[in-house]
Amino acid sequence: MSEVSQYIFNGLMLGVIYAMVAVGFTLFFGVLDVIKFSHGDTLMVGAFAGLTASILMMKIGLDSPVLQLLAVVVFAVAVTGLLGAGIAKFLILPLRHAPPLNTLLATLMLGTVMREAVRLFYPDGSNPKPFPALLPTSMVELGGLSLRIDNLILLASGLLAIAGVHLLITRTKLGLAIRAVAQDGETARLMGINFEAVVLITFALGSGLAALAGVMNGLYYYEVNFNVGLLLGVIGFAAAILGGLGNIYGAIIGGFL
């Protein structure tokens, strides 16, 4: 029974990562009815940005795990948030009135460019890179289960991130604006909502959440590689489809399934 419980916990750990990726897909589809196939590669960029932040912190002598973890998360989320907003501004919005296939292919090719750029230009980028162990790795006994504290922290962090997005969407004026744009963009414009700003913020939010998922994946497996976004992107997209594109709660459930 303990082995079954252990497998269930491991499934929850991975499920929360998949759910975070799926929420990004459903946010993008909600506001613009587009499928951003470069989303997984945005996650990969976030993971490599976090790794870079950790390396830089070590080079300047700041080897505190807490400071490194803070720098990793902040830098990864900031880089991918800006990247996501830039993709929306310069690629997706200009193609808004084009056939959906155009946007799909454009983001698919962009993902390939991002993946190959990291492989070619990041130092030794074609090989898996060790990701620093920044969380405590001691064990704790819970109901007959031997669980690593770092996994518990990652699971709690993922759930808190998803809960934070839920509260942002349902309890804030920004969330109301996002829901209005998702419901009817033209009507939202007529009501005085800045359509483009809401789209950019939504893409930054979804991309930042993907970066956090990428960092969590690196902390879980202790490595990151240029193909990580391809796998997580496919799984996250499948979870979003399973839960219903545009349905955040469905995407979350799909991630855990």
d(CA 44, CA 34): 20
**Positions of E strands within 52-136:** 129-130
In a domain, 144, yes or no: no
In a domain, 102, yes or no: yes
In a domain, 53, yes or no: yes
User: What's the gap between Cα 237 and its chain centre?
Assistant: 12
In a domain, 139, yes or no: no
In a domain, 180, yes or no: yes
How many domains would you assign to the chain? 1
d(CA 143, CA 225): 35
Structural domain boundaries, residue 217: 2-128+149-256
What is the DSSP annotation of 25-58? HHHHHHHH----TTHHHHHHHHHHHHHHHHHHHH
The CA distances from residue 38 to 51, 69, 171, in Å, are 20, 26, 29
pLDDT in tens, 71-95: 999 999 999 999 999 999 999 999 9
pLDDT in tens, 96-105: 888 888 999 9
In a domain, 141, yes or no: no
The reported pLDDT for the residue numbered 41 is: 97
In a domain, 161, yes or no: yes
Q: Is the pTM of this model over 0.75?
A: yes
pLDDT in tens, 207-249: 999 999 999 999 999 999 999 999 999 999 999 999 988 888 8
Cross-strand pairs, 142: 145
In a domain, 136, yes or no: no
pLDDT in tens, 129-179: 999 999 988 888 776 677 788 889 999 999 999 999 999 999 999 999 999
